[in-house]
Structure 1
Amino acid sequence: MDRVVLENAFFRAEIDPLGAELRSLIPAGGSNVIWGADPAYWPRTAPILFPIVGRLQGDRYTHAGQTFQLGQHGFARDSVFEIEQQDSDAVTLRLRASTETLVRYPFAFDLRVRYQLHGEGIETAFLVRNAGDETVPFGVGGHPAFNWPLEEGLAKTDYVLLFEQPEQGERYLVGDGLLTGGQGAVPWQGHLLPLDEALFREDAIVLFHPASQWVRFQPRQGGLSIRVIYTGFPFLGIWSRPQGAPFLCIEPWQGHASFVGEPPDLLAKRDMIHLPPGESLRCAFQIEVQPAAAVGA
């Protein structure tokens, strides 16, 4: 299956119709900043999360008296999208309800994912439409993985996350892919979160309603950086594997994994979007690649 290639004067990107997944983002004169999907660590680069974010308890839920199986992060990441519209620097990919999806998710949805290059990077936009006659409950989100470190000669511990605002919130703890209900401390330093593999020994850092609208992944002493702007996404995941995996995921979410003991009814799942018949929801995040100045403690 051929990848879609987008180009402008500043960037080149490749998108795979399988999963509508961003496979590369290359600045002019530079190298790919997106993780290369080594199966030894993690075989994906930037999967689309739909119609759920995270895991359900037992990977199943109930609706209208029936039980359905649905794996972690849903099925969009493993589905072939049709290319609806393509220009030199933008593409819209589409996934609609089908016989195959209705077995796992009995709702009439229409999901579009649009990638648009611009001068600083790329925008990923989701448009979800309720194409049926009953409320559609869903979650949607991004899961882009970036090379960590971004440049040769730097160590992982040279990097920090610089948030738009000083952050103080705790992380929601994860166990077997579910939210346990507990919370844990995050070693904030005002606007900064120093990065270390040890942060991910207990799985992802899951933040509810962070104060910031963006975060920059950069070396403390300055250099090539990634800024993810996630305005309109109330939840943020930050994840890597702690066994030497050379990537860092920054994940804007509409929705999150189930809490342990949460009722199995999908309509009762916490923080799902409930979309009435005929209505649509659009949300988008941006990835910017830019030089960054040094930051202090």
Structure 2
Amino acid sequence: MKTLTTKEGGWSALFAPGYGGRLIRLRWNEFDLLRHPEREEELQEGQFVFGIPVLLPPNRIDAGTFEFQGRRYQLPLNEPQRGNHLHGLVFDREWEVRDHSASSVTLGCRVEGAAGLGVPFDVEIQYEFSGRTMIQRTTVRNEGSTPMPFGIGFHTVFRSPRRARLTAAEFRWEIERPRFLANGRKLPWGQFNPDNWFDPSGQVISCHFPMETKEIDGKPFRGALLDYGTLQIRYESGPEFRHWCLWNHDPADGFLCPEPMSWMVNAPNLPLPPEVTGFQDIAPHAAWSGVNRITVEERQ
């Protein structure tokens, strides 16, 4: 497996361009923030449970198909047991290294032809390390002559913290099993609300909700707080990422995965307006951009 390493200040990061341009290990002064593979075989077998997989489009689409502006689109049925398309078109492709320095890495992937979204497109992600913050800047360009239906997300697999909270809305989206598709209905939180501090080790977590900006320590914040005792991680996203999922599969697996997404699960097929679902398009020869940040706060 070919990898790329960068070190800046307290940061060290390991990338695997051949595995979807993935950041597979992220450390702050010898502390691992992400769940990382020890062997390449683990990365092959657990495509979505190590590092930061890039999902374009994110999560599930019913039957892999939807209609947009009078045209029907068909994505691969790569979750055949549930009849869904899952996690997009770039997570398993070879990416190229477009720039590399001690403080910055830029990776990119150009997808030729229709590839299920009707147009060729290019996705580029820059990781910049400065002080206690890693900034992830994402740009997606429609290189075709027709609009590109668009959604993107990140399956960010943190090591499980002692406790966590997210600036979640006052409701969650209902997810219907066994196919794990959103239906557009709102549900109350009930016993578990990630807007309050919770212990991930005590429960199986799988939920989907709109993200809001709230006052945290007297400042506006939009994202997740992960408390590791001597360290606290602030995982912050811009308003481009309207909806998040939160998942840990099984507490014994030792990870917590907060997933910022620009659209809801199955957004193109939901009976809700785009301003709610986050479904959007990129105009011909235009671009979309979004920002996420990981900031480390040390505690005595």
Distance of 2:195 and 2:61 partners within structure 1? 33
Are 1:114 and 2:119 counterparts?
no
Shift of the 133–168 alpha-carbon distance from structure 1 to 2, 3 Å rule, reads: closer
Q: Answer yes or no: is 1:31 the counterpart of 2:39.
A: no
How far is the alpha carbon of 1:40 from its aligned partner? Answer: 7.5
TM-score, with length taken from structure 2: 0.79
Unmatched runs of 5 consecutive residues or more in structure 2:
77-84, 215-221
Q: 1:186 to 1:19 in 2, by over 3 A?
A: farther
Where does residue 9 of structure 1 map in the other structure?
A: 9
The alignment partner of 2:197 has SS state of strand
How much has 1:199 moved relative to structure 2? Answer: 5.3
Cα separation, 2, equivalents of 1:245 and 1:190: 19
Contact 1:57 1:258 in 2 (8 A): yes
Moved over 4 A (4+): 37-43, 62-67, 186-191
1:281 is aligned to 288
Report the counterpart of residue 95 of structure 2 in structure 1. 81
What are the residue-to-residue correspondences of 1:162-201 with 2, within 5 Å? 163=167, 169-175=170-176, 176-182=179-185, 183-185=187-189, 187=191, 192-196=196-200, 200=204
CA contact (8 A) 1:170 1:186 kept: no
Evaluate the alpha carbon distance shift between residue 187 and residue 224 of structure 1 in structure 2; reply closer, same or farther with a 3 A threshold: farther
Aligned positions, number: 271
> Gaps (5+ residues) in structure 1?
150-157
Cα root mean square deviation, aligned: 3.0
Taking the aligned partners of 1:85 and 1:40, their CA distance within structure 2 comes to 27
Q: Tell whether the 8 Å contact from 1:178 to 1:260 is kept in structure 2 after alignment.
A: no
Q: Structure 1 length as normaliser, TM-score?
A: 0.80
Change (3 A) 1:187 1:260: farther
Identical aligned residues as a percent: 19
- The superposition leaves residues 70-123 of structure 1 with CA deviations (integer Å, 9 ceiling, x where unpaired) of 331102111111111111221111111225xx2433212111111111211311
Q: Report if aligned partners of 1:170, 1:207 keep a CA contact under 8 Å in 2.
A: yes
Stretch deviating more after TM superposition (114-123 or 40-49): 40-49
> 1:199-246, CA deviations, whole angstroms, 9 ceiling, x for partnerless residues?
545x3x212142331321115xx4322110112221122111135221
- Residue in 1 aligned with 2:224? 215
Taking the aligned partners of 1:125 and 1:135, their CA distance within structure 2 comes to 22
Change (3 A) 1:228 1:258: same
Q: Cα 1:179–1:108, aligned 2, differ >3 Å: closer, same or farther?
A: same
Pairing of 1:54-73 with structure 2 (within 5 A)? 54-62=59-67, 65-70=71-76, 71-73=85-87
1:46 to 48, 52, 74: 52
